[in-house]
């Protein structure tokens, strides 16, 4: 029932809670919620900021050209979309793809935190400035947050921040640094029991 706290919900109940959520104003403009996709046994959790127009239509995160690039990035460390779990901080699309507002991120983050509790990933890859800054509660530019093993939550999950694939499409020169970040993710996956 809606009386049960988010922190006690299992996967199906959590997905249903999100599907019917009206906890922030974004519920009024969404086509559908974008809960997340992938393996519920994934060692790697990828977190972006929010659904865009195509995600809002399809109900899946990271689709379109940026999604294809993400798939290629995962392929480079011998992973596919089915091996990982992909979610966003916001489950509903902000109108005109504006940045998430603090109250929206605050309202939605308990769902992501529950996803992390259920998954217990070995490492989180935060893609893009918005996701990285929110998860790390930092104002530092993505160029300073990336490239190192940081952490999220309590108990702490290792977190690596990197560039959003949509940014890499516009700035291909950043791909070399993105590759360094992926290799760090791969190293954490390999060395975590
Ligand atoms: Fe609920 Fe999150 Fe959608 Fe806001 S963005 S309505 S908190 S699911």
pLDDT per residue, tens digit, the chain (193 aa), is 557 999 999 999 999 999 999 999 999 999 999 999 999 999 999 999 999 999 999 999 999 999 999 999 999 999 999 999 999 999 999 999 899 999 999 999 999 999 999 999 999 999 999 999 999 999 999 999 999 999 999 999 999 999 999 999 999 999 999 999 999 999 999 999 9
Pairing label, strands 85-88, 150-152: unpaired
At residue 3, the pLDDT reads: 73
**20 Cα: distance to centroid of ligand 1 (angstroms):** 9
Residue 174 burial (10 A CB sphere; 0-12, 13-18, 19+): middle
Can you tell me the distance from the alpha carbon of 184 to that of 105, in angstroms, rounded to the nearest whole number?
27
Spatial contact of 132 and 150, defined as CB atoms under 8 Å apart: no
At residue 187, the pLDDT reads: 98
At residue 14, the pLDDT reads: 98
Residue showing tokens 């393996």: 39
Mention every residue, 6+ apart, whose C-beta is less than 8 A from residue 77: 182, 183, 185, 186
At residue 188, the pLDDT reads: 98
* Closest protein CA for atom 2 of ligand 1: 108
Spatial contact of 26 and 101, defined as CB atoms under 8 Å apart: no
127 in contact with ligand 1, CB cutoff 6 A: no
Can you tell me the distance from the alpha carbon of 169 to that of 186, in angstroms, rounded to the nearest whole number?
22
At residue 27, the pLDDT reads: 98
Of all atoms in ligand 1, which is nearest to the CA of residue 50? 5
At residue 2, the pLDDT reads: 52
**96 Cα: distance to centroid of ligand 1 (angstroms):** 16
Residue 77 burial (10 A CB sphere; 0-12, 13-18, 19+): middle
């Amino acid at each position: 029932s809606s009386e049960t706290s988010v922190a006690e919900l299992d996967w199906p109940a959590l997905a249903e809670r999100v599907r019917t959520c009206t906890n922030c104003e974004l519920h009024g403009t969404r086509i559908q919620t974008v809960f997340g996709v992938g393996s519920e046994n994934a060692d790697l959790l990828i977190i972006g900021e929010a659904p865009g127009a195509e995600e809002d239509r399809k109900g899946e995160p990271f689709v379109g050209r940026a999604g294809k690039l993400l798939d290629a990035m995962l392929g480079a460390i011998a992973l596919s979309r089915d091996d990982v779990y992909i979610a966003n901080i916001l489950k509903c699309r902000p109108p005109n793809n504006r940045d998430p507002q603090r109250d929206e991120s605050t309202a939605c983050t308990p769902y992501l935190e529950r996803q992390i509790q259920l998954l217990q990933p070995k490492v989180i890859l935060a893609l893009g400035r918005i996701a990285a800054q929110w998860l790390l509660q930092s104002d530092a530019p993505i160029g300073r947050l990336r490239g190192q093993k940081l952490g999220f939550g309590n108990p702490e999950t290792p977190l690596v921040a990197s560039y959003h694939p949509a940014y890499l499409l516009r700035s291909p020169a950043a791909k070399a640094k993105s590759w360094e970040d992926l290799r760090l993710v791969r190293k954490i996956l390999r060395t975590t029991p």
